[in-house]
Structure 1
Amino acid sequence: MASGDGGGGVRASVRDEVDRIVAAWGRERPDLDVRPLEVLSRVSRLARHLDLARRSAFARHGLEAWAFDVLSALRRAGRPYRLSPGALLTQTLVTSGTMTNRIDRLAEQGLVRRLPSPDDRRGVLVELTPAGRLRVDGAMADLLDVEESLLAGLGDEERARLADLLRTLVAPFDAP
């Protein structure tokens, strides 16, 4: 089942590997409706390209993706750039043991520090250090440049439409 314009404004002359995969499955298994591959295989392939681009951007700043996730959660929290380990767990979707390990590693690098919680004598807060802030800010700027280049083939209206469509697909996974 070949995909055409379908009213979405896609140029029929633009073909990619997914078109070849869909055509081959359509030829080999005409009994199957392979149209979901037209969307989700492209999303999967784009996710792989994005992952590679992000890892490269983070590496230029001496960070791994997991480190960027933690540092950016702290940066987004706003001044004084502090969160509890529990809040970091919620934002990064990892286990408490994994988060403890990540905080330890970032603290060893001087990118975060642990502080006693003013609200709970047994609790701690994780705070972004000035060095961590510089590192995450640089990585974020680099990431946005990389992501902009990945979207360069789309105009503003196409980007907005794609963002809306993807939001519709992703929102049910993010619901509590």
Structure 2
Amino acid sequence: MSGIETNTPPSRVEPGGSGDEVDRIVAAWAEVSPTLDTAPLQVLSRVSRLARHLERVRAEAFSAHGLEGWEFDVLSALRRAGEPFELSPGALIQQTLSTSGTMTNRVDRLEARGMVERRPDPADRRGVKVRLLPPGVEAVDGALAALMRHEQEMLSALSSDERDALAASLRCLLLPLDAR
């Protein structure tokens, strides 16, 4: 290239060459805008593409067990709470990043399906607890097992050390974002 310095990583792949779709996108940008720093695309476009694949895999695992994603989120929060598998609506809101109105609707729908029940909070007569019922335990456990099989398969190209390093790197990226 006519002596123009680029910030494109050395793993650059020419359009039509070998590599993944992100390599082809980055190579195309390097051709049309050689001074553009495309380094973030190398990571974040792959994260975005992985998220789309993960959403598809999650939807398949959940639907195979009669659940939608939001149902899995609520049921798994209750399951993780341990015996007797109950939380306050406020704790569910915090763990699922939803609003009060949304959570009321979600608990209503799960209650109608026989997966959870509302019970008086023994520590606060005005409060309630949402308790996971056996059909909810069965559904969330089955969906989680299927999800873990799919996610293990997605990560099978990485060694254990590579998985640990990737998890640590992603944690470093997420901590400041989650703190906002």
TM-score of the superposition, structure 2-length normalised?
A: 0.90
Distance 1:76 1:124, change over 3 A: same
Of residues 14, 23, 35 in structure 2, which corresponds to 1:19?
A: 23
How far apart are 1:2 and its partner, in Å? 4.7
- Cα pair 1:19 1:38 within 8 Å, conserved: yes
The secondary structure found in structure 1 opposite 2:53 is helix
Q: Is 1:167 the equivalent of 2:171?
A: yes
Partner of 1:78: 82
State the alpha-carbon separation in 1 of the partners of residues 162 and 10 from structure 2: 18
Aligned length: 169
Gaps of 5+ in 2: 1-7
Question: Which structure has the greater CA radius of gyration?
Answer: 2
- Cα pair 1:2 1:23 within 8 Å, conserved: no
How far apart are 1:105 and its partner, in Å? 0.5
How far apart are 1:3 and its partner, in Å? 4.2
Partner of 1:158: 162
RMSD (Å), alpha carbons: 1.5
State the alpha-carbon separation in 2 of the partners of residues 173 and 97 from structure 1: 25
TM-score of the superposition, structure 1-length normalised?
A: 0.92
* Identical columns (%): 59
Partner of 1:140: 144
How far apart are 1:123 and its partner, in Å? 1.1
Of residues 1, 4, 24 in structure 1, which corresponds to 2:11?
A: 4
State the alpha-carbon separation in 2 of the partners of residues 99 and 155 from structure 1: 39
Gaps of 5+ in 1: 6-12
How far apart are 1:4 and its partner, in Å? 2.2
Partner of 2:126: 122
How far apart are 1:14 and its partner, in Å? 6.2
State the alpha-carbon separation in 2 of the partners of residues 2 and 31 from structure 1: 12
